[in-house]
Amino acid sequence: EAGVAQSPRYKIIEKRQSVAFWCNPISGHATLYWYQQILGQGPKLLIQFQNNGVVDDSQLPKDRFSAERLKGVDSTLKIQPAKLEDSAVYLCASSFARQEYGYTFGSGTRLTVV
């Protein structure tokens, strides 16, 4: 089966600019996650979707981050305005069901804010 697709692979922007990341999960996977991975650290959950509804966004910095999942398939994560500390890899993962144990991760988008 095809994996989780993410784009772009790399992005360099100046602080205060905006940026968007795209994720296409594995077909049929109802649950979608966005994680932030700062260099040298483990992934940290930002937001979790079940179909097109938000299950948990308690760790999403809502003053600058937003995410949506239209029609319960693709998802977009946006940052506006970006800060230097947002430099990280943004990982998208999906799983078949809400209580499903297995996550599949995409390759991520590496964001550098200068």
The only residue of 13, 26, 45, 73 in contact with other proteins, by rule CB under 8 A: 45
Applying CB under 8 A, among 1, 40, 63, 70 the residue interacting with other proteins is: 40
Which stretches does DSSP call E strand in 2-99?
Answer: 5-7, 10-13, 19-24, 31-37, 44-50, 53-56, 65-68, 75-79, 88-95
The answer to whether residue 52 forms part of the interface with other proteins (CB under 8 A) is no
Would you count residue 48 as binding other proteins (CB under 8 A)?
yes
> If binding is defined by CB under 8 A, does position 112 make contact with other proteins?
no
Residue 18 exposed, middle or buried by CB count within 10 Å (0-12, 13-18, 19+)? exposed
Contact footprint for other proteins (CB under 8 A): 4, 33, 40-45, 48, 50, 55-56, 91, 93, 98-99, 101-108
